């Protein structure tokens, strides 16, 4: 499947949950939107007793989709959203659940640190998807070579520890998290072929390398504030970070050239990881501009945003071609088989990314674009108030897939609404200062 695609005309989803926001009155409109979202439960995400979230609350325990399970990546992003929206205690509870699960994976990291060749068997790597109810491994194979998923948890846990003395790592947590730098060194993360954010064929993904860099930078920030354990002491953090930065500077603004160029996962390096940002290690405004421009030029669709050109997951009439137990299955070793189903221009359009673009443009003080992409995200909410994973073409019409609501979409939309509200408050404060 080549990267070039001919776009197929398509319609927007039917109906609209809430009218578009306008620059002239978005403050009052945001109040009404937040009230309606609260009444309809649009952004309501309930963790289980472990503090962990299933991928989609719509799926039952026996669902063949597997979206009743938990992913490290999704949970870290949801926890981050809770923190950004003013609930750090909820974020910490989720991270406690993730830490409990990762403790069951620590022996795998230790084994790979001692014998790096074991990492070639992805089932021997730390697992990234698990049973949300008992925090145990799932049976069966999965594309567990996902360095970004591990890095998101480490990055967020250490950021929380740095933000508040009450959130410091316990002794048990230190024992676990201190393994990660040596683990990332053992697998040579800067050149490791991993399955990345979309859990597909293995390659050197910038979105994964950058996530590890962000996690290692958090270790570096905390290095002077805590005693270093043996594994961490044996690891030169700056050297590890430099390895990753060299890969990023070589490959960006592409994801994994030459096989994958424009990929929406690169947005995560801008937000929330802030690797490519004025405050990050790649402080290059033009690089950020390139990433944003490529995604807008290549991936923005009429309804949502494609993950990448040639993405066959939930392509046109997907549920006609695959039974329920195969739709979200592991295609990492045979993506080309699923790719044969895709008609050019008929990739699914996801609901994760418009909220992120809104936040990014808000941080860039580009209010028009911030509102534009938030309006697109609001337009993706179903008439019943649900936040889908994606829209796909069914009999020529875009409809949401069965993973509605998707917790990760809900989390991203919550941040985008919160960020625009903050923009409103900042604008009001600036106007007040000018009047003095």
pLDDT tens per residue across all 436 residues of the chain: 334 333 344 445 556 899 999 999 999 999 999 999 999 999 999 999 999 999 999 999 999 999 999 999 999 999 999 999 999 999 999 999 999 999 999 999 999 999 999 999 999 999 999 999 999 999 999 999 999 999 999 999 999 999 999 999 999 999 999 999 999 999 999 999 999 999 999 999 999 999 999 999 999 988 755 544 445 555 689 999 999 999 999 999 999 999 999 999 999 999 999 999 999 999 999 999 999 999 999 999 999 999 999 999 999 999 999 988 888 888 777 888 999 999 999 999 999 999 999 999 999 999 999 999 999 999 999 999 999 999 999 999 999 999 999 999 999 999 999 999 998 877 666 666 666 5
Pair 353, 424 in one domain: yes
Pair 253, 307 in one domain: no
Pair 323, 292 in one domain: no
Pair 211, 265 in one domain: yes
Which pLDDT value is given to residue 222?
84
Pair 208, 251 in one domain: yes
Domain boundary among 280, 297, 314: 297
Pair 28, 75 in one domain: no
Q: How many domains would you assign to the chain?
A: 2
**pTM of the complete model:** 0.93
Pair 311, 387 in one domain: yes
Residue 433 lies in a domain: no
Domain that residue 15 falls in: 1-40+299-428
Residue 141 lies in a domain: yes
Pair 193, 258 in one domain: yes
Pair 333, 365 in one domain: yes
Residue 435 lies in a domain: no
* Burial call 30-59: b when 16+ CB within 10 Å, e when fewer: beebbeebeebebbebebeebbbbbbbbbb
Domain boundary among 297, 331, 358: 297
Which pLDDT value is given to residue 15?
63
Structure letter (DSSP) for residue 256: B
CA distances in angstroms from 240 to 32, 145, 252, 302, 330, listed in the order given: 48, 19, 18, 41, 31
Closest CA to 411 of 170, 57, 135, 149: 57
Pair 311, 289 in one domain: no
Domain boundary among 248, 281, 297: 297
Residue 436 lies in a domain: no
């Amino acid at each position: 499947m080549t990267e070039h695609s001919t776009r197929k005309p398509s319609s927007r989803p039917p109906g609209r949950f809430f009218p578009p926001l306008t620059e002239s009155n978005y403050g009052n409109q945001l109040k009404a939107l937040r009230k309606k979202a609260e009444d309809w439960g649009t952004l309501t995400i309930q963790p289980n007793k472990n503090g962990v979230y299933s991928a989609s609350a719509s799926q039952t325990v026996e669902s063949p989709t597997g979206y009743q399970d938990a992913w490290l990546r999704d949970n870290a992003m949801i926890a981050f959203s809770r923190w950004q929206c003013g609930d750090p205690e909820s974020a910490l509870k989720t991270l406690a659940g993730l830490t409990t699960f990762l403790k069951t994976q620590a022996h795998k990291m230790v084994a790979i640190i001692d014998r790096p060749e074991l990492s070639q068997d992805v089932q021997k790597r730390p697992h990234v998807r698990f049973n949300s109810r008992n925090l145990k491994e799932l049976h069966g194979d999965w594309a567990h070579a996902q360095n970004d998923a591990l890095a998101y948890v480490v990055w967020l846990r250490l950021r929380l520890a740095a933000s508040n003395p009450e959130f410091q790592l316990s002794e048990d947590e230190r024992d676990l998290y201190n393994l990660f730098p040596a683990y990332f060194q053992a697998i040579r993360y800067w050149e490791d072929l991993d399955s990345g954010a979309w859990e597909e064929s293995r390659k050197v993904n910038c979105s994964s390398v950058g996530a590890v860099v962000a996690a290692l930078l958090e270790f570096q920030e905390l290095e002077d504030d805590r005693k270093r354990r043996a594994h961490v002491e044996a690891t030169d953090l700056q050297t590890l970070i430099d390895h990753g930065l060299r890969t990023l500077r070589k490959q960006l603004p592409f994801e994994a050239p030459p096989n994958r160029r424009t990929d929406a996962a690169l947005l995560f390096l801008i937000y929330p990881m802030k690797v490519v940002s004025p405050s990050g290690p790649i402080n290059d405004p033009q690089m950020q501009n390139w990433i944003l421009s490529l995604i807008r030029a290549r991936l923005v669709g009429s309804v949502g945003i494609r993950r990448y050109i040639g993405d066959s997951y939930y392509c046109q009439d997907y549920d006609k071609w695959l039974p329920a137990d195969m739709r979200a299955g592991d295609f990492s070793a045979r993506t080309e088989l699923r790719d044969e189903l895709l008609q050019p221009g008929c990739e699914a359009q996801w609901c994760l990314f418009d909220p992120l673009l809104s936040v990014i443009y808000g941080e860039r003080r580009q209010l028009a674009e911030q509102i534009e992409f938030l309006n697109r995200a609001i337009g993706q909410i179903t008439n019943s108030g649900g936040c889908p994973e994606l829209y796909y073409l069914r009999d020529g019409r875009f409809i949401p897939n069965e993973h509605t609501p998707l917790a990760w979409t809900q989390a991203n939309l919550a941040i985008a609404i919160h960020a625009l509200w903050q923009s409103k408050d900042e604008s009001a404060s600036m106007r007040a200062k000018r009047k003095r």
